Amino acid sequence: MNSFQGIEGVTRILATYLVQARYEDLPAEVRKEGCRTLLNWVGVAVGGAHHETVQRAIAALKPFSALDQASLLGRSERFDIMNAAFLNGVSSHVFDFDDTHLKTIIHPAGPVMSAILALAEYRPVSGKDFLNALILGVETECRIGNSVYPDHYDVGWHITGTAGVFGAAAAAGKLLGLNEQQMVWALGLAASQPVGLRESFGSMNKSFNPGRAASNGLFAALLAAENYTSSDAMIEAKRGWAHTISTKQDFSQITENLGSHYEAALNTYKPFACGIVIHPALDAAIQMRNEYQLTADQIAKVELKVHPLVLELTGKKTPRIGLEGKFSIYHSVAVAIVEGAAGERQYSDQAVLDPVVLKLRERVVATVDPAVKPEQVDMTILLNDGRTLHKFIEHAIGSVEVPMTDQQLEAKFLDLAKGILSDEQARKLLSLCWDVEKLESAAEIAKAATATS
């Protein structure tokens, strides 16, 4: 596929690839990762659907959308596709529990899936074509992200929104059947609409960003489909995207090995609903709990040796609300041992006040050890019966080295859907996600993900 490199112009090389790339060209392991990306995204979008952030966005936008073209996952309302793309994108990021391309810290599915699932409800598309578009969208945003990372992120851009808009435009453009010139324009109109600054982290504005990247990318593709023009070189030109928005530009990251190397295959999924620095400790806690069938009352003390960053970021000793629990290594380890999980439920306002968790939390001791790397943890559990248990984690579950298993992804999915979809509906939806390649219409997934309230 290196034939693309001979064509002049980064934007055009990418567009040519996107227009030509077929589902049949995708290696099996890339398709598989695409299914996992899809499934994880549907889970987090359903799970976040009733968050206050989403409620406020719906209240704001409802008066301006009268069409019932597309579903909101985990809800009963329907919107025009542009607003549905935005709202599902917000919902899927609101727990900070979505997928991560670790090389760039892009959360790839939010912009892409939100755009194309809404579009698929308006314009029928087979599951195979849908999966192809999803993978191409993720590939596009991660490659463009690679070309400017880390400078672009360091200065303050929320790369999920700035690179994500290209992913959404590419994937939506693929489903719309754009020709090469139209795809060039779609990428150009996407380049004109970057979204998100890191300063907004901690506010509702953070989940706004993948949502708006989705609707901006979709907007770009729809205009390009009607031959609304842009420049032919918006990514690489002197006053184009990469030079304007970053001090680093490595265009080979975009154009090399298209169709043979897949960034989309490097996607990862969070097993735990909190910042990644606590993940090794949570992994150790849950593994030991399950191996030794531990209960809280058996435990005299939990001793952790951690990287300095862990206490810097998550050293909160007495969290009072759920969100604070995410910044407490103490609560996290305790609740993980008690419940065997660290999903959104374990970071609820109730969970941080649970007496059993509280009692165990007081017995968790964390010590900084500069020899421990950020991806590692050293955990020792002293039991009341005098036994000492020990676990060292080299790479936490959810990393590229130790990916979440399909079963773990399913458990996460079902946990997120709990209380929003019935267990039967959630399991049916799970099957549809795994079987996306067999679906006559990808819209079935959206329909199966809606709730009655």
Q: Which residues bind a second copy (CB under 8 A)?
A: 53, 56-57, 59-61, 63-67, 69, 80-82, 122, 155-158, 161, 185, 188-189, 191-200, 202-205, 208-209, 212, 219, 222-223, 225-231, 233-234, 237-241, 243-244
Q: Which two tokens stand for residue 251?
A: 């265009």
CA 176 remoteness from chain centre: 24
Least distance (Å) between residue 289 CB and a second copy:
37
Residue 238 or 371 with smaller CB distance to a second copy: 238
Instruction: Give least dist CB 49 to a second copy, A.
Output: 16
CA 155 to CA 284: how far, in whole Å?
34
Strands 377-383, 70-71: pairing kind: unpaired
Q: Which is nearer to a second copy, 197 or 414 (CB)?
A: 197
* CB 123 to a second copy: min, Å: 10
Smallest separation, CB 367 to a second copy (Å)? 31
- In the numeric block, which tokens belong to residue 427? 């399991």
Task: Rounding to the nearest 10 degrees, give the CA dihedral for residues 41, 281, 146, 371.
Answer: 180
Q: Minimum distance from CB of 245 to a second copy (Å)?
A: 8
In the complex with a second copy, the residue whose CB is nearer, 80 or 369, is: 80
Could you tell me the smallest distance in angstroms from the CB atom of residue 223 to a second copy?
5
**Which CB sits closer to a second copy, 245 or 414?**
245
Give whichever of 55 and 295 is closer to a second copy, judged by the CB atom. 55
Q: Smallest distance from the beta carbon of 140 to a second copy, in angstroms?
A: 18
Can you tell me the distance from the alpha carbon of 115 to that of 195, in angstroms, rounded to the nearest whole number?
Answer: 15
Distance CA 436, CA 425 (A): 16
Residue 228 or 434 having the CB closest to a second copy: 228
Peptide bond into 150 cis (omega under 30): yes
Nearer to a second copy, 238 or 385 (CB): 238
